Structure 1
Amino acid sequence: MNETSQNHHVVVVGAGFGGLETIRNLKGAGTRITVIDRRNHHLFQPLLYQVATASLATSEIAWPIRHLFANRPEVTTLLGEVVHVDPSRRVLRLENGSEIAYDTLVLATGARHAYFGHDEWEDAAPGLKSLEDATRLRRRILMAFERAERETDPQRRQALLTFVIVGGGPTGVEMAGTIAELAHVTLKRDYRNIDPTKARILLIEAGPRLLPAFPEDLSAYAEKALRSLGVEVVLGEAVSACDADGVIYGGKRLAAATLVWAAGVAASRAAEWLDAPADRAGRILVEQDLTVPGHPEIFAIGDTAFVKAPDGSLVPGIAPAAKQQGRHIAGTIKARLAGKPEARPFRYKHAGNLATIGKKLAVIDFGWLKLRGALAWWIWGIAHIFFLIGVRNRLSVALSWLWIHTTGQRSALLITQGRSHQESRAERATRTDERM
């Protein structure tokens, strides 16, 4: 271990898949590492929708960052939010005004919801990017059934039993299928004044088909499978308004108490911190080696970066891609410390696309092989369990899924009744209507 590597300080902003993979692969490099995140946990986002739909508990898909690196004394974890980066001084500033110097900076700050210029829709149609989002949605979904149980007005009751998911990508498809199973299977015997199987679940996609990143035949299968679960699929009609009373799409208003936004994401504000070139979604237009133009000491990866694959296509914002980028950056840092400063172009290897629709319903596209149905569902489940952190979490998730698969019942049907500053205006409006 030479003096240069001992003094070299790598700061990683964001403890998502890319950030963690960078830190893991720097083990033994002799660098000092600081990881900064707004939350104290790493989140397995691909299963976040299962927390929102009462299939899994929050602790089954999230791990404290400090615990992950407890045996890595060279890694310091800070809970904080970066608000500015000064490349000329090689320092970044946190929300409390403190500054942290770096030699190498890795921006793995992820993405946020994108409402296409209508941020006022967020209260009515929350997205799904954090544990807070998931528990908020779970409360909203379960409370809709509770309020419908005591509602005497037929129209209001129907609105409470109407669930709208906006966006036909993997998250939208997975949410729609799971809410349908929750209503039509899990809750069907739990109420006396309502019939949960009569709930309406609509999936609205502005494009011509679901799962646009998948081949057309798999998209068609996903649509057919959703319809078999009782989901109403609306294609080719964009949403023009969302509010606490429902949604407007295709010029029609639909009364619905629960809306879920899965239509788009935007990158974090990392490009603004650096005044770096970015695409329309805010992703930094990085060089081939994943560095920020003009700043070879700064890397951007995952949803933060606009990265092109060898064939010229955009590298997708999925976990395997972020992990590949993290490994690449760690290798570049090691090479530089070894006196090999030449650029190392990133080469993305696509491992395939996976999406689950419902019980024994999934689609997989490996490029050379396409799968659908029960076999795809089992492969999807095994793959997700494999990528979870820790034996306990793998066993816990596997047992939860086995229980749901066998009995149809879910283990996380809990409604938290807390009143916090994050409570949405839509929920407050609903309770105001009930009191009037």
Structure 2
Amino acid sequence: MASDTADPTTGRHRIVVVGAGFGGLEAVHRLAGAPVAITLVDRRNHHLFQPLLYQVATASLATSEIAWPTRHVLARRDDVTTLLATVTGIDTAARRVLLDDGATLPYDTLILATGARHAYFGHDEWEPFAPGLKTLEDATTIRRRILLAFERAERETDPRRQAALLTFVIVGAGPTGVELAGTIAELARDTLPSDFRRIDTRKARVVLVEAGPRVLAGYAEDLSAYAQRSLEGLGVEVELGRPVSACSADGVVYGDRTLEAKTILWAAGVRASPAAEWLGVPADRAGRLIVEPDLAVPGHPEIFAVGDTVAIAGPEGKPVPGIAPAAKQEGHYVAGVIRARLAGAAPPGPFHYRHAGSLAQIGKKLAVIDFGRIKLRGALAWWIWGIAHIYFLIGVRTRLSVALNWLWIHVRNQRSARLITQGRDDED
């Protein structure tokens, strides 16, 4: 690249990365040693291992076991400046990222790894009653609501209100919905019974509602059927082909049924960050940027997008899934493109997603893994799921802590993170 696109004070090419998720952090790691000055900006101060977020929400793990301060992760990278700030827009003409305090960040190359939030399909008014699960704040909110429901049921004398407090509805039967439903059922059945005197937590209802014809729709049909049988074996009520039409403080309406429930959790869809709006470029219905084969934004070869921010076709023409391995592959690829440009070398070919398999836990010793030709279920899949997730955690201490927690849950059915933190939804 031309020298006039370098920082005049350092002579280095300036790269701004927005988002410290899997894609953004992978790009930063892969650019180590390149003649660049990197600024990583995120509105939160931590990198989050999202695949285990539901375990924080269901009191299995503590927040510190699945999240790490971004500054600590990059402490040894003198070429990286980490900023805690919220991006509000992008001035593509001046090549500047706009921040919420009025400051700007100049860039020569920009990488957008801004992630996604949950989507309510035009019913954003449902969010206060049915929180989604994308951040640590979401997880602690959900954990609080679940645990408070049992506490309030213990004090409730009206049978109808008590039943509503002990009814948990999860909307959406993808991996997150299945994992939440199975873990809440085990929490009520195995962990909590001896803690309460007036209620039998084993009588709690866990209802998984899905608009489509089966759970885990992205998996092979036999694994989907196994997952449903396993959930039902845990006591989960699976309602298929019943789209939700209303959510309120009193309950949920799905299909032609109304169910009184005080805890509703949303796992039915996602929407991308406003990155496409910042740039004024085309996006799909979920708001994801439609990018070139090299993950560059059309008309802006100096801007790349990765992870949940983008929509791009994968193998067999299917969209690349919004999962951690895909984001890491995209971050790795973009770093390679930037290195090639800086070196004046031929760019790599178009991005090609390599699907390493889909994994979902259903409950203790219950999981499914779809490697394509190889499909696993049951205890073996559960062990592989656990090993794979522990391997990708950051730090030996974290890996040991998570492994010991899971061992304790497996042997004693005890979840040590059952702390109720205070929040705005703590009042009846």
Q: 1:329 aligns with which of 317, 325, 334?
A: 334
CA distance in 2: counterparts of 1:84 and 1:305, whole angstroms:
17
Change (3 A) 1:343 1:399: closer
Q: 2:412 aligns with which of 407, 416, 423?
A: 407
Of the three residues 278, 283, 305, the one matched with 1:300 is 305
For 2:348 and 2:102, locate their aligned partners in 1 and report how far apart those are by CA, in whole Å.
34
What's the secondary structure of 2:97's corresponding residue? Answer: strand
Looking at structure 2, the residues matched to 327 and 376 of structure 1 have their Cα atoms a distance apart, in angstroms, of 28
Alpha-carbon separation, structure 2, partners of 1:14 and 1:363? 30
Matched, 1:256 2:264: no
Of 63, 70, 76 in structure 2, the residue corresponding to residue 71 of structure 1 is 76
Q: Matched residues in 2 for 1:212 and 1:189: separation?
A: 36
Conserved in 1, the CA contact under 8 Å of 2:336 and 2:348?
Answer: no
Gaps of 5+ in 1: 432-436
- When the two structures are aligned, how many residues end up with a matched partner? 422
1:20 aligns with 2:22: no
Please point out which of 43, 49, 70 is paired with 1:44. 49
Matches within 5 A, 1:87-126: 87-126=92-131
The 1-side partners of 2:347 and 2:234 are apart by 54
Query: How much has 1:311 moved relative to structure 2?
Result: 2.4
Q: How does 1:222-301 map to 2 (within 5 A)?
A: 222-301=227-306
Query: How far, CA to CA, are the matches of 2:310 and 2:242 in structure 1?
Result: 30
Deviation at 1:8, TM superposition (A): 0.3
Who is 1:56 aligned against? 61
1:371 maps to 2:376: yes
Task: Give 1:341 deviation, angstroms.
Answer: 5.8
How far off is 1:342 after superposition?
4.3
Normalised by the size of structure 1, how large is the TM-score?
0.95
- 2: CA distance, partners of 1:274 / 1:106: 13
Pick from 72, 82, 89: which aligns with 1:84? 89
Q: Which moved more, 1:320-329 or 1:343-352?
A: 343-352
1:394 matched to 2:394? The reply is: no
1:310 Cα deviation from its structure 2 partner: 4.2
C-alpha displacement of 1:88 = 1.1
Letter in 1 for 2:15: V
The one-letter code sitting in structure 1 at the alignment partner of 2:126 is W
**Aligned pair 1:157/2:171, yes or no?**
no
The separation in 2 between residues aligned to 1:307 and 1:95, in whole angstroms, is: 30
Alignment of structure 1 residues 208-223 onto 2, 5 Å = 208-223=213-228
Q: Letter of the aligned partner of 2:392 in structure 1?
A: F
- Note the residue ranges of structure 2 that are not aligned, 5 or more in a row: none
Which letter maps to 1:174?
E
TM-score by length of 2: 0.97
For the pair 1:140 / 2:145, whether they are aligned, the reply is yes
Say which of 197, 200, 203 aligns to 1:198. Answer: 203
- The alpha-carbon distance between structure 1 residues 336 and 35, as it changes in their structure 2 partners (threshold 3 A), is same
What's the CA shift string for 1:337-391, capped at 9, x where partnerless?
0012646310111101000000000000000200000000000000000000110
CA distance in 2, matches of 1:80, 1:307: 28
CA shift for structure 1 position 189: 1.1
- The one-letter code sitting in structure 2 at the alignment partner of 1:392 is R
Question: What per-residue deviation string (whole Å, max 9, x for no partner) do you get for residues 202-253 of structure 1?
Answer: 0000000000110000000000000000000000000000011110011221
After TM superposition, the structure 1 stretch with the greater mean CA deviation from structure 2, 61-70 or 307-316, is 307-316
Which residue pairs with 1:434 in the alignment? none
Cα distance change of structure 1 residues 249 and 88 upon mapping to structure 2, 3 Å threshold: same
Q: Pairwise CA RMSD of aligned residues?
A: 1.2
Query: Aligned partners of 2:97 and 2:123: how far apart in 1?
Result: 30
CA distance in structure 1 between the partners assigned to 2:417 and 2:61 by the alignment: 6
Specify the code of the residue in structure 2 equivalent to 1:340.
Answer: A
Question: Aligned partners of 1:139 and 1:332: how far apart in 2?
Answer: 44
CA distance in 1, matches of 2:170, 2:257: 16
CA distance in 2, matches of 1:307, 1:395: 37
SS at match of 1:11: strand
Over the matched positions of the two proteins, sequence identity in percent amounts to: 68
Q: 1:152 offset after TM fit, Å?
A: 0.3
Match of 2:421 in 1: 416
Residue 127 (1) aligns with residue 132 (2) = yes
Structure 1 residue 86, shift from structure 2 partner: 1.1
CA distance in 1, matches of 2:17, 2:254: 41
CA distance in 2, matches of 1:342, 1:233: 49
What is the alpha-carbon distance in structure 1 between the residues aligned to residue 187 and residue 363 of structure 2?
10
Once residues 242 and 316 of structure 2 are traced to their aligned partners in structure 1, the CA distance between those partners, rounded to angstroms, is 32
